[in-house]
Chains A and B, each alone.
Chain A
Amino acid sequence: MTHHHKEYDVVIVGAGIAGAIMAKQLGEQGKQVLILEAGTGTDGRFFDQGKEKGYESYMARFFTAMAKIPNAPYPNNPNAPQPLVTDIQKPPLDKPVSDHGYFVQYGPDPFASTYTRSEGGTTLHWLGTCLRMLPEDFELKTRFGRGRDWPISYQDLQPWYEIAEQHIGVSANADVQTYQQIDNPSVQLPFEANYDYPMEQIPQSFLDQYLAKGLQGMQVEIDNQPYPIDVVATPQGRNGMPRGDYRPVGAVGNPDLGQRCAGNSNCVPICPIQAKYSALKTLEQAKNTGNVTIETQAVAYNLEVDHKTQHISKVHYKRYHSTKSAAYDDKTVKGKVVVLAAHAVENAKLLLASNVANSSDQVGRNLMDHPTMLTWGLMPCKIGAFRGPGSTSGIPSLRGGAFRAEQAAFRIEIGNWGWSWPEGAPIATVPELIDEQNLFGPALRHKIAEEYPRMFRFGFLVEQLPDPDNRVTIDDQYRDQLGNYRPVIHYKVTDYTRAGMAQAKEVSDAIFQRLGVEPFTKYKTSDPGYVQYQGKGYVYNGAGHLVGTHLMGDDPKTSVVNREQRSWDHPNLYLVGCGNMPTIATSNPTLTMAALTFWAADNVLNALDQY
């Protein structure tokens, strides 16, 4: 066997959705691609076959997990550790830092989101929401004097949105998603004429229909301006009824499964039949080109720069032997082009560790999330809680508007699974009925049958502005067992966002009153995400939408990548993923990120042609 270093056309770090799309696009054009993935994988298998590697092994782990958190099915691996929502603590007042779990948190507020370090990345546990950004989201600075502008417009990204929607297999109806029916021009989306999504929209839940009827004609006032409250189906990356000749991709490793969403009710953390899109499907397509190799258990830790050309000359990585020990081989690989697709936090960490791409001093900065405030209560009648996908509709009419000059915009998500998020229902709430309310037998059954189907929850995904002080850094004190850096996070939720939360709570109160919902919302000072605004308390959760950290811009002094998503500092280094997004706005970022990545893949192909 020879031991020469193979040189690839492209080395991609990270086998999540961005890395998978990049690899598939390049592999299809005959480029030789290597993906380095820090976590473990499934080997493209559905069944375990006793080897703990198939998708079913994730299911088995999920079934036995005590806490059904987003990362519950996915191995927590000391060689590629990942954050868990159960690690999140309020940064203590008397100490400057909380280093519980993977993140080291300096606060002052806790960063509450997580991601998955495994082949397939965070699409393994995403909900599948595929919203486009609004045209005004790309021009926040120009229009509202807040945040930053993107170097590209909605119109620039429009064709790539279509490609991403076709690839992911989004179920939605374009005539609904233009929001033309909403009496707020700020949110209306221009779609290309005659365009429609590849699959028809997932049927709206009974709850959605109940809300739509009950809220018909409702308005709220912000700054003396009326805004409608309209219920609209949410576009989703899960298989519905195909339009025309479109055929969705089956489950990886078992094409007999994975066709249409059957309402299994656990999209997060895992769809048992893979009706929900995950990057495993794209990775399979990438591998089938014959030009893409995936090396799992390979943690990139340093990028070497040729100081004459400023090219990234080598990627150094640690290939560990198993998850059970810290033994590893130190390896390097070369690529004509290097693409970092390792997630916003991991990309920033790797860049900082390598001291590259950071002439702007913006690497790791401007970390954003959607601080997500929940409200919950009991509906006056049974609304079929705990059925279907996690959410099938939302209220998008406050995603945009003149008020963004003063306070955050937000999107309202309608949750189909009762109080599962705020209270852990039904699993965590039954012991309380037994232990504290002393219910048993028929009385217990009656209580469950009467109350659980009435459980109702809203989620308010509140906008956050890019703030250079909200950042990921590295610190020699904090390393994992392979000696790699752990992310050190500074994070706060500013008044702009808190004002949005306060506004959201007012809207929620008005809706609850109109529908006769008995409120059960409790914001406890002991909750890690407890914040105050104008004397009132609110609690935010993480949305898992990690954005910023290497954002795109027109100016090398203030941004990390240019509009082609290429590093300003290194001609053969491309960054992809949500880290490129200059603002988070109100849409779940995956679709926008996927669209950007299809564009980036085109740019990489053009660049390779010039070598």
Chain B
Amino acid sequence: MYHKLQKRPIETLEQLHYDLQLAIELEFSTLPVYLTALYSIEEGTNQCACTVIRSVVMEEMFHLTNAANLLIATGGSPAINSPEFLPAFPTKLPDGETWFEADLQKFSPEALQNFLNIEMPTALAKEGDITIGEFYAGIENGLQTLHNRMGPELFPADCHDKQIAHKYYYGGGGELTPVTDLASANFALNAIIAQGEGVPDECWDPDQPFPLGDTTGIGSGDHQLFMQPRELSHYYRFNELLLGYRYVQGDTPNSGPTGPAIPIDYHLVYNVVKNPQPEHYQPYPAIARLDTEFNLTLSLLLDQLHLAFNGQPDLLVAAVGTMFGLKEKAQSMMRVPLPDHSGHNATPTWRYIAAKDRPGGC
């Protein structure tokens, strides 16, 4: 059964674990969406867009790891390698948002609009629309509630070393810090919320300039939370791509980006089919086989991540290689036109294949 957000304040450790598992699924569920768009861009073109999407993907993995560390730190165990872990696309996100669906599609203005929906800051969302930020706010409140009741016992000492250490984290995105108490737990949560939403504080004024460090917005401007230079939240970075301009110093959410143009050419993109289902490929065994090979690689990746998050962190080194395999298989699939004269190319379906259903030797 696919997990869904249970709308309620978190009162028990079990509920906290449930929501943190959901957070892991939520973070991972954005990856097929972003990666399908990223890999659909012809190699060597649209470099600005590629680097923005790529860095957001890395941050999503950073968020996933933060959520997993939080779950481990409070005595839970992330569950990653199961068919239920991955949604079938198009999908509503697992945190209960009902006002849009996340789609697998090529890099396009439509895809970017979809990205903006995913990363919508609460302050910009329509009244009553659930956002990722609110979901994490619920976790923050739950942590506080449980900490009030349990105190330091919420973070058992024997869970400190089971977490993923910074050194394993594949570069970019942020600094993994061990979760050992309420403060470090909130720090980890804040990193997720601030990067994703760039959630402003209570006195947020959309006419206040962004905290950018220089005139172009491309250089530096450290944010101590991330240990890396200038960082707009995902929403605004995608908005830059959609509008084709950089935010620069002095720009506000209301002003929009007024900086240098971002060169984007939507023609240099493989016209991959939107939200493919395995049935689509049944008439074309060669394409179905490519899809299966992709899904087997994806399944191997989820297995490796699962074991890495459950006591074998060294497997993250091998998982990096698997991630590259995923990219290579996706890209070779995207170069193949569907024989149905639709003008579309193939693209992976992103399904987990359970060990018992895999061909021998895998």
Contact = CB atoms under 8 A, between A and B. Distances in A.
Contacts of B227: 247
Contacts of B220: 255
Contacts of A63: 44
A257 B324 contact: no
Contacts, number: 45
Given A203-B317, A250-B228, A254-B51, A241 B168 contact: yes
B109 interface: no
A203 B44 CA distance: 28
Given A250-B228, A263-B324, A256 B166 contact: no
Contacts of B58: 256
Interface in B225-273: 227-229, 263
A228 interface: no
Nearest to B58: A256
B171 interface: yes
B47 A47 contact: yes
A243 B324 contact: no
A263 B317 CA distance: 12
Contact of A60 (B44, B51, B55, B166): B44
Nearest to A199: B167
A50 B47 CA distance: 12
A56 B44 CA distance: 9
A59 B321 CA distance: 22
Nearest to B321: A263
A241 B167 contact: yes
A56 B47 contact: yes
Contacts of A56: 47
Interface string B36-69: 0000000010011001001100100000000000
Given A47-B47, A255-B228, A260 B55 contact: no
B171 A260 contact: yes
B320 interface: yes
B172 interface: yes
A256 B51 contact: yes
A79 interface: no
A247 B222 CA distance: 15
A254 B54 CA distance: 12
A259 B167 contact: no
Nearest to A49: B263
A200 B48 CA distance: 31
Interface string A230-241: 000000000101
B228 A200 contact: no
Interface in B163-180: 166-168, 170-172
Contacts of B54: 256
Contacts of B167: 200, 241-243
A411 to B, nearest CB: 27
B51 A262 contact: no
Interface in A46-78: 47, 49-50, 56, 59-60, 63
Contacts of A259: 170-172
Contacts of A250: 171-172, 228
A257 B53 CA distance: 12
Interface string A210-252: 0000000000000000000000000000010111000110100
Nearest to A60: B44
A258 B227 CA distance: 14
Contacts of A203: 317
Contacts of A257: 51, 172
Contact of A242 (B51, B166, B321, B324): B166
B170 A260 contact: yes
A60 B166 CA distance: 33
A47 B172 contact: no
A50 B51 contact: no
Nearest to A250: B228
B280 to A, nearest CB: 27
Contacts of B317: 203
A63 B321 CA distance: 23
A262 B228 contact: no
A239 B169 CA distance: 12
Top 8 closest pairs, chain A to chain B, by CB: A259-B171, A241-B167, A256-B55, A260-B171, A255-B229, A259-B172, A242-B167, A47-B47
Given A250-B228, A258-B171, 10 more contacts: A47-B47, A47-B48, A49-B263, A241-B167, A250-B171, A254-B51, A255-B220, A255-B229, A256-B58, A262-B320
12 contacts: A50-B263, A63-B44, A248-B171, A250-B171, A250-B172, A256-B54, A256-B172, A256-B228, A258-B171, A260-B320, A262-B320, A263-B321
Interface of B: 44, 47-48, 51, 54-55, 58, 166-168, 170-172, 220, 227-229, 263, 317, 320-321, 324
